[in-house]
């Protein structure tokens, strides 16, 4: 007697592929950022190809086209890039494209000759590491995410997808070690694994189809005027927040939104809503960076501080390492701290002070 799950597998995959296509096209036509649209469109194509090529029935209907296999290879890297772009508000950079490109090249070589067992291990190992890192990013940024819809998505959907992706890597290794074992049924090529991916795909499509601004964090003007009709409690909280900024409380290393809420003696959800709705910041790091980068630019452009290292300035402004500082400065200015300092000092009328 045939397994009903296996019988329904092509049908379920077809529904999931259609939902993914609708979601990708819906987001592509929306008003979210160009970076988010490009990543989601690429991820949608890759997931659809993955669903098709892992199903003998569906892939056969496409005459086993190799182009579909090639487009499915970078799915793990594209999901990782999706998390960075949509949930960390990072732009697409050449360095961020490297992981998906490596997965594509590894898969392409494996497709030419399946004797490269080492490449298969590298491919799946790298996919697993990217899934782990994506899960880490989802968890790490949850507390400081100021967009409520996006915070819920992190916990309800993205976490499940990251765990599923990691589980698929582990199941693939188990199926490789024991080809006739039960593990194969839970890979993407198996009925149960395919069904789980289809369910997650449809759930993601339903959530992202409308490309709601609340989810994607539509840009707000950070300088927007405060509503004069704001109630007294909100004005009081804004005054406290202004005092915190004026006292340079943002210099504290490791400062989290929970710490600031405790200092200001307000519920965390109220503070989160205020910073997002009134000040226009999408995450707590963005709020801190507004003050930190303004101070960094003043110090980097000061000829009197030309001998102060970039690292010393970063640590003094509350950054725990150079990586986040470099990314924040590049995002704000389009240049690294060192490049921006050089340009600023060259334009300074007091250039001799820097020598």
More confident residue, 320 or 81: 81
SS3 247: coil
How does residue 219 score in pLDDT terms, banded at 50, 70 and 90?
very low
Q: What is the largest CA-CA distance in the chain?
A: 87
- 287 token code pair: 């709020």
Cα dist. 190→8, 20, 72, 117, 286 in Å?
12, 20, 16, 21, 43
Q: Is the dihedral of CA 277, 34, 104, 74 positive or negative?
A: positive
Under DSSP, the state recorded for 83 is I
Cα(315)–Cα(247) distance, rounded to whole angstroms? 17
More confident residue, 177 or 276: 276
Which one, of 21, 329, 69, 67, lies nearest residue 202 by Cα?
Answer: 21
Residue 238 has pLDDT above 90, yes or no: no
Q: Which of 14-23, 98-107, 212-221 has the lowest mean pLDDT?
A: 212-221
How does residue 212 score in pLDDT terms, banded at 50, 70 and 90?
low
- The residue with tokens 């490269």 is 116
Taking residues 243-271, what's their average pLDDT? 90
pLDDT above 90 covers a percentage of the chain that reads 19
How does residue 354 score in pLDDT terms, banded at 50, 70 and 90?
very low
- pLDDT tens string 29-67: 777 778 888 898 999 999 999 888 888 878 888 888 888
- Main-chain phi, psi angles of 228, to 5 degrees: -65, -15
- The residue with tokens 């964090």 is 217
pLDDT computed for residue 5 by the predictor: 58
pLDDT above 70 covers a percentage of the chain that reads 87
pLDDT computed for residue 24 by the predictor: 83
Mean pLDDT for the chain?
A: 81
SS3 181: coil
pLDDT computed for residue 348 by the predictor: 66
Q: Which of 18-27, 248-257, 314-323 has the lowest mean pLDDT?
A: 18-27
Provide the residue count of the chain.
355
Taking residues 141-167, what's their average pLDDT? 80
Taking residues 209-224, what's their average pLDDT? 51
Residue 91 has pLDDT above 70, yes or no: yes
How does residue 345 score in pLDDT terms, banded at 50, 70 and 90?
confident
CB atoms within 10 A of CB 194: 27
- pLDDT tens string 288-336: 999 999 999 999 988 888 888 999 999 999 998 888 899 889 888 888 8
Cα(250)–Cα(290) distance, rounded to whole angstroms? 10
DSSP-H helix ranges across the chain? 4-28, 34-53, 56-61, 66-72, 75-82, 94-112, 117-140, 148-153, 159-177, 191-208, 213-216, 232-246, 257-264, 268-277, 284-300, 310-316, 322-333, 337-346
pLDDT computed for residue 17 by the predictor: 86
pLDDT computed for residue 294 by the predictor: 92
Taking residues 153-177, what's their average pLDDT? 79
- Main-chain phi, psi angles of 219, to 5 degrees: -60, 140
- pLDDT tens string 103-140: 999 888 887 766 557 888 889 889 889 988 988 888 88
Residue 230 has pLDDT above 80, yes or no: no
- 281 token code pair: 């910041």
- Main-chain phi, psi angles of 283, to 5 degrees: -150, 165
First to last CA, the chain: 84
pLDDT computed for residue 141 by the predictor: 85
SS3 347: coil
């Amino acid at each position: 007697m045939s397994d009903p799950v296996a019988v329904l597998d092509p049908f379920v995959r077809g529904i999931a592929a259609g939902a993914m296509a609708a979601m990708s096209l819906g987001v592509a036509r929306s008003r979210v950022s160009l970076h988010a649209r490009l990543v989601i469109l690429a991820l949608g194509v890759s997931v659809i190809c993955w669903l098709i090529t892992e199903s003998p029935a569906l892939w056969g209907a496409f005459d086993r086209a190799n182009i579909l296999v090639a487009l499915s290879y970078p799915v793990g890297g594209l999901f990782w890039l999706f998390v960075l772009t949509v949930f960390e508000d990072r732009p697409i950079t050449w360095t961020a494209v490297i992981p998906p490109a490596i997965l594509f090249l590894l898969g392409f070589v494996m497709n030419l000759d399946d004797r490269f067992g080492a490449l298969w291990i590298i491919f799946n190992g790298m996919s697993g590491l990217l899934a782990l890192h994506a899960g880490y990013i989802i968890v790490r940024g949850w507390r400081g995410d100021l967009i409520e819809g996006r915070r819920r998505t992190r916990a309800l959907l993205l976490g499940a997808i990251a765990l599923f992706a990691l589980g698929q890597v582990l199941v693939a290794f188990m199926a490789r070690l024991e080809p006739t074992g039960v593990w194969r049924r839970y890979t993407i090529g198996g009925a149960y694994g395919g069904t789980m991916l289809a369910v997650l795909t449809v759930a993601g499509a339903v959530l992202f189809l409308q490309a709601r601004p609340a989810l994607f964090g539509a840009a707000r003007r950070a300088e927007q005027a405060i509503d004069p009709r704001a109630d007294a409690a909100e004005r009081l909280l804004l005054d406290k927040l202004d005092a915190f900024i004026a006292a340079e409380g943002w210099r504290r290393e490791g400062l989290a939104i929970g710490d600031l809420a405790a200092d200001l003696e307000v519920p965390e959800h109220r503070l989160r809503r205020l910073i997002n709705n009134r000040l226009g910041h999408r995450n707590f790091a963005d709020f801190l960076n507004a003050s930190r980068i303004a101070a960094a630019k003043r110090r980097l452009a000061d000829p009197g501080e030309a001998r102060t290292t970039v690292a010393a300035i970063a640590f003094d402004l509350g950054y725990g390492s150079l990586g986040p500082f470099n990314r924040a400065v590049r995002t704000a200015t389009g240049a690294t701290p060192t490049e921006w300092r050089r340009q600023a000092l060259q334009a300074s009328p007091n250039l001799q002070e820097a020598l």
